[in-house]
Structure 1
Amino acid sequence: MTPRLPSVSTLRHDLPASLVVFLVAIPLSLGIAVASGAPVAAGLIAAVVGGIVAGCIGGSALQVSGPAAGLTVIVAGLVQTYGWRATCTITLLAGLLQLALGASRVARTALAVSPAVVHGMLAGVGVVIILAQVHVVLGGSPQQSAIDNLRELPGQLLHPHTHPALLGSLTVLVLLVWSRLPRGGWLRLIPGPLPAIALATATAWSLGWNAQRVELPDTLLSGWDAPVLPHGSLPGIVGAVVSVALVAAVESLLCSVAIDRRRPAGVPRADLDRELLGQGASNALSGFLGGLPIAGVIVRSTANMEAGARTRASTVLHGVWVLVLALACGPLIEQVPLPALAALLVVLGLRLVDTARVRDLRHHREAPAYFATLVGVVFLGLGEGVLLGIGIMAIMALRRLTRLSVRAEHLVPAPEDGPVPTRVHVVVEGTLTFLGVPKVTRLLQDVPPGSHVDLDLNVDFMDHAAFDAVHQWRLAHERHGGRVDIDEVHEAWYERAVTGEMSQPRKTPPSARWWAPWANRRRRSETELDAPEVSPAAVLLAGVREYHGRTARLVRPIMAELAMEQKPQHLFITCVDSRIVPNIITASGPGDLFINRNVGALVPRHGSRTPDDSVAATVEYATNVLDIRTITVCGHSNCGAMAALLAGGAEVEHLPGLSRWLKHGNHSLARFLAEQPSGTDESPLTRLCKINVMQQLDNLLTYPWLRERVESGEIELVGLYLDLQSANVEILDRTTGTFSPVPAEPVPDEPPHPRTLT
């Protein structure tokens, strides 16, 4: 695909962005080349090729490619083993392998490598870079391995060289100060590495300090020789090519995905297969010209995006600027002290050890793979460390796939003079394979002979070994006078194995969500159940049948646990209005809410002249028997009871029972008439509906025994309001008497419901 020439409007954004990326790329390219043990010019060649070639061919418009810190350890090892020219050949061959992978359209397969392993690898590389470059900062020379660098570090710290150490410290200080400058300031437009290296270079030159400097050839490609074949075992060479190709590919693709998620509007999505082709072409050309291996670099890509780039022109132009500088400003680059570049790499290595990633991985229980990869890269080598991390992830994945929970409880205990319990409930959850057979059989063997066993198989898979173990135990248990009832919550693995019907279970056609009204559901039969000729009783019974066919088997284990006792924590008082479903608006299930529903969600006051004990009885039982901790009064918009109160009860005069009941709402009406409108555009009915919630909470406090428990903090009162049209729930702040949206998350270090509500 031939890239289109950028327009003037896009160049207005891309040109400044290219200069920013150029300023970031120069010091990093030089430093990575030094850390890799390669000629300094190799870093500039890789930056030029990565910018121009990968920028033109690659599939990500904003990604910037060049020499990457993640490849430093690999390249340093290759240089020591095969020499620089042979390393260039390995880079060329790795590029050709990437081209083949890109043509095979397998780019997304590379993303199957766990991020825990990738980030662990980068962190390990960061530690290796730090251990090596600290020696350069202190005026010494890095050793051949991280272990040797670690062993020699104490002696180096005790006897540092003054000038290199001061230059390195100055570089780190400038980087730290620059990172703390205000984001809106004009100085932040200049990338921190540039002033840090520039100041260290000016200091070393003006004071005449003794420190190693960058050495460049007369021209960028002077002394160029064709790449030579590496000498060594064929498996070792093939492994080196594959390592460079895959590590560079995975790092580039992950970088591309990360940038693609944050791309501005109007920027096309990344094509990962095309990106792999661009990386392959860049590495092939870079290796041929004598440059470092190339990969997508997150630091430069982020700088490119934040600088306002809109197209790939920014990436290409940054490569052009590097080429111009390398050809025209060689003497200036040769004044850069190596300790300053080493200090820059130490800071870069610290950034590779991203502690935020550790917190995320720990949340997903993948931190062991991260740390295993990190330690393996540092002490064993890059390839060995990555393989170790992949092995740990494979073990963790296998463990998750075979995770099994087995528990048993005696639902009906044995009498004191009886030998065994009469009923036992056993629940098996997870994936039931041969690995879980010992755990299951150990528990089943402890089930007393002759007992009645309810066995719930809540498993997503059961292999033949597991089936045989369960089936043989069942037969033996029933031979000894016991009884076994097996319920399968998911697919009927056991039943199909017993009947010999092992074909894949048919998928049931999708139906409407369980909370949708009957009128909105599409029935399997041709006749609509809510048609005029179908009675309401038939609709109800059809719902019960649907429950039995689809839902009962799913909730049966929960209901079995709750069958003997309920332990709700919340009393929920709300209106009888059919549009309010408490379990939906609170995302609760069986056993969570103790519910009282009445017309208007009213709570008769203590000692009311119109006696009604139904609500008081509910509150007494909930607080004194069930030990409820929270009482919620939930009102709603367009409440018919509140509308009747506003109309003075004229609309319900012909309903004597309802008229007597609505007298309990007179306090709400009086409060409504006494309070001035808040100045909002709420209708009178909406105001009364909300005031009614506040009044019913006050009515609860008229019961002396309940008020004592609320004031002592044993019970909490909560007011909710459901707006039917928006389906949003608001919560009452009783200190201000206002309703506000429920917070997305609880405030840290405070309970979910603020105490101001009580």
Structure 2
Amino acid sequence: MTRVEIPSQRRKSGVPQWPKATFGADLGASLVVFLVAVPLCVGVAVASGVPAELGIVTGIVGGLLVGLLPGSTMQVSGPAAGLTVLVASAVEQHGLAALGVVVLGAGVLQIVLGISRLGTWFRAISPSVVQGMLAGIGLVLILGQIYPVGGLAQPESTWAKFAGIPDLIVAVVTTPAGLSGLALAALALLITAFWKKVPGKASLVPGQLVAVVVTSALAVLLVLPVQKVEVGSLLAALNPPDATAWGMLFSPAVLGSIVTFALIASAESLFSAAAVDRMHDGPKTQYNKELVAQGVGNTVCGVFGALPMTAVIVRSSANVQAGAKTKLSRVLHGFWLLLFVVLLPGVLSFIPTAVLAALLIQAGWKLLELRQVAALVRENRSEAFVLVLTATMIVATDLLIGTLTGLAVAIVKTAIEVSWLSVKSEHGDEQVRVELGGNATFLRLPRLLDHLETLPTGKHVHLDLTMVRHLDRACHQAVEHWAAQRRRSDGTVEVALPARVG
């Protein structure tokens, strides 16, 4: 009689196995990630122009649902600062009611991309475009969040934000709300900057949380005239799509938003995966499965009408650094978020919006990565140009146009670089030897023909293409046509072709 091993059956059934030996490490890491996630979930929601509870909902789904799904082990999902620009734009264009449709559609598209095994293709996007995209998002984020610091509502358009800076400065230095908000924001940034240097176990507590607690307490004790986060019931804040919202599904504008959300969220999640995988020695991310997991999470968030989610590098790195060993840490972080909003929802109403804005300004500053930009300018100016152009176009227009512009320029730049062609001529008394090297493609055809047509008449021409790495059909036909014309006129031509002709 065959002996049945129940643990083996459980593994095959797909039930997660979390060893007791790692439970303590995962529990501690989950608390750290939870403390990091609370202010960021609320801050991203407020910056996106939606109720704060919707950011918490996305964080809960990212932990309890996506945390259980296969793909990545250490990544933590939730609302991301990089998507605030997209969400704010979508809500402004289509209304809050349509947010769920956009997020749900993006989630379904992500699932399709993952099932189609297209997840790994996101790794092929030019790093300079990605860095430019993040820098552009960071600039827009900073530009928008300086207004809540001064107690003002941020203008809708980018140009209005630039134009409103003088009025913002006046409000900050002359009004009680502006002065108080600036003081709290500055204090929050100082705390987060210096908290990592605190000796002992106290440094394990996230600096963002310490900043929020200290500044919120000061705002209450000193009765400062600053605006605070408005928090209501979690269930009441849910925003499932209604019939009117579903009716907008096939409009070109909404479909464009769905595609944009899916592509940007997928790229951010998978680039985060590549970064997080370098931080630990555990199982590496399975990109297509991770893309499906993100899609499932966004589909559920869309049903609830919540914010879109991505894998967030801030929470993910905190998870690794806190000593997480398995997926249990990110699942528990979602449980702590749910428990917090159920038992202590009123605590969030003590947080000044100026403090959350300061934390998002800090997040935007990190997205700029100025040191890497400076290094890129020194090492590769063409790549730096793509980065700066992408970021500038995002600030000047919007995220989709800016990113597509960067991609187009990167493709053209790569095509030009790949098609590099050298042409050398050695002139003798009776013959001319022309040697080609590199890649002979249609992009370099005008230069090649110009050189061949300037060769002196009456001499034998030896055209050596054996060192050419790639000869496309256009160049091949052009060379043969030129040689035939040369032979019909007054000279002889010998053409040595490479072993393989493209």
- TM-score normalised by structure 1 residue count: 0.60
Q: Which residue of 2 aligns with 1:403?
A: 420
1:208 shift after superposition: 0.9
For 2:446, the aligned partner's letter is: P
1:467 equivalenced with 2:476 (yes/no)? yes
1:31 equivalenced with 2:39 (yes/no)? no
Summarize the alignment of residues 303-342 of structure 1 with structure 2, pairs less than 5 Å apart: 303-342=318-357
1:478 shift after superposition: 5.5
Distance 1:125 1:427, change over 3 A: same
Cα deviation, 1:383-436, whole Å, max 9, x if unaligned, reads 1111111211221122223322223244x5xxxxxxxx4554422222223332
1:439 equivalenced with 2:447 (yes/no)? yes
User: Among residues 373, 380, 390, which one is paired with 2:390 in the alignment?
Assistant: 373
Q: Which residue of 2 aligns with 1:674?
A: none
User: Among residues 208, 221, 226, which one is paired with 2:235 in the alignment?
Assistant: 221
Summarize the alignment of residues 26-425 of structure 1 with structure 2, pairs less than 5 Å apart: 26-160=38-172, 161-179=178-196, 181=197, 185-217=200-232, 219-222=233-236, 224=238, 226-228=240-242, 229-230=244-245, 234-264=251-281, 267-358=282-373, 362=377, 363=379, 365-410=382-427, 421-422=429-430, 424-425=432-433
Q: Which residue of 1 aligns with 2:32?
A: 20
Q: Give the whole-Å Cα distance in 1 for the aligned partners of 2:156 and 2:489.
A: 71
Q: Give the whole-Å Cα distance in 1 for the aligned partners of 2:25 and 2:271.
A: 25
Q: Give the whole-Å Cα distance in 1 for the aligned partners of 2:155 and 2:442.
A: 50
Distance 1:454 1:158, change over 3 A: farther
Distance 1:257 1:158, change over 3 A: same
Q: Give the whole-Å Cα distance in 2 for the aligned partners of 1:5 and 1:479.
A: 79
> CA contact under 8 A between 1:110 and 1:250: conserved in structure 2?
yes
1:343 shift after superposition: 0.6
1:101 shift after superposition: 2.6
2:424 is paired with a residue whose SS is strand
Distance 1:492 1:164, change over 3 A: closer
Consecutive unaligned residues of structure 2, counting only runs of 5 or more, are 1-12, 173-177
For 1:221, the aligned partner's letter is: L
For 2:441, the aligned partner's letter is: T
Q: Which residue of 2 aligns with 1:426?
A: 434
1:447 shift after superposition: 2.3
Cα deviation, 1:348-391, whole Å, max 9, x if unaligned, reads 00101113443565545422322222112111111111111121
Q: Which residue of 1 aligns with 2:464?
A: 456
> CA contact under 8 A between 1:58 and 1:279: conserved in structure 2?
no
1:72 shift after superposition: 0.8
1:259 is paired with a residue whose SS is helix
1:473 shift after superposition: 3.8
Tell me which moved more, 440-449 or 190-199. Answer: 440-449
For 1:395, the aligned partner's letter is: V
Identical-residue share of aligned pairs (%) = 37
> CA contact under 8 A between 1:450 and 1:480: conserved in structure 2?
no
For 1:347, the aligned partner's letter is: Q
Cα deviation, 1:257-311, whole Å, max 9, x if unaligned, reads 22223322xx222222221222122112222223211110111111111111110
Cα deviation, 1:226-275, whole Å, max 9, x if unaligned, reads 322436571111111222122112211221222223322xx222222221
1:150 is paired with a residue whose SS is helix
Distance 1:367 1:221, change over 3 A: same
Q: Give the whole-Å Cα distance in 2 for the aligned partners of 1:271 and 1:443.
A: 50
Distance 1:169 1:446, change over 3 A: same
Distance 1:223 1:50, change over 3 A: closer
Cα deviation, 1:108-149, whole Å, max 9, x if unaligned, reads 233333232222111111111100000111221101122211
Distance 1:370 1:449, change over 3 A: same
1:334 shift after superposition: 0.8
Q: Give the whole-Å Cα distance in 1 for the aligned partners of 2:237 and 2:372.
A: 44
Q: Give the whole-Å Cα distance in 2 for the aligned partners of 1:446 and 1:78.
A: 58
Distance 1:476 1:82, change over 3 A: closer
Q: Give the whole-Å Cα distance in 2 for the aligned partners of 1:6 and 1:467.
A: 62
Distance 1:381 1:2, change over 3 A: same
Normalized per residue, which structure has more helix?
2
1:285 is paired with a residue whose SS is helix
Q: Give the whole-Å Cα distance in 2 for the aligned partners of 1:360 and 1:59.
A: 33
1:385 is paired with a residue whose SS is helix
Q: Which residue of 1 aligns with 2:8?
A: none
Q: Give the whole-Å Cα distance in 2 for the aligned partners of 1:394 and 1:37.
A: 35
1:448 shift after superposition: 2.2
Summarize the alignment of residues 736-755 of structure 1 with structure 2, pairs less than 5 Å apart: none
1:98 shift after superposition: 2.1
Cα deviation, 1:605-645, whole Å, max 9, x if unaligned, reads xxxxxxxxxxxxxxxxxxxxxxxxxxxxxxxxxxxxxxxxx
Q: Give the whole-Å Cα distance in 2 for the aligned partners of 1:475 and 1:340.
A: 75
Summarize the alignment of residues 669-748 of structure 1 with structure 2, pairs less than 5 Å apart: none
Q: Give the whole-Å Cα distance in 1 for the aligned partners of 2:472 and 2:295.
A: 44
1:333 is paired with a residue whose SS is helix
Summarize the alignment of residues 503-582 of structure 1 with structure 2, pairs less than 5 Å apart: none
> CA contact under 8 A between 2:272 and 2:313: conserved in structure 1?
yes
Over the residues paired in the alignment, what is the CA RMSD in angstroms? 2.3
Give the structure, 1 or 2, with the largest relative contact order (CA under 8 Å, sep 6 or more): 2
Tell me which moved more, 282-291 or 374-383. Answer: 282-291
2:236 is paired with a residue whose SS is coil
Distance 1:119 1:435, change over 3 A: closer
> CA contact under 8 A between 1:33 and 1:42: conserved in structure 2?
yes
> CA contact under 8 A between 1:449 and 1:480: conserved in structure 2?
no
Q: Give the whole-Å Cα distance in 2 for the aligned partners of 1:464 and 1:104.
A: 32
2:54 is paired with a residue whose SS is helix
Distance 1:225 1:135, change over 3 A: closer
1:224 shift after superposition: 3.9
Q: Which residue of 2 aligns with 1:695?
A: none
For 1:459, the aligned partner's letter is: V
Tell me which moved more, 39-48 or 97-106. Answer: 97-106
Q: Give the whole-Å Cα distance in 2 for the aligned partners of 1:225 and 1:156.
A: 33
> CA contact under 8 A between 2:138 and 2:368: conserved in structure 1?
yes
Q: Which residue of 1 aligns with 2:4?
A: none
> CA contact under 8 A between 2:239 and 2:306: conserved in structure 1?
no
Q: Give the whole-Å Cα distance in 1 for the aligned partners of 2:322 and 2:116.
A: 34
> CA contact under 8 A between 1:58 and 1:276: conserved in structure 2?
no
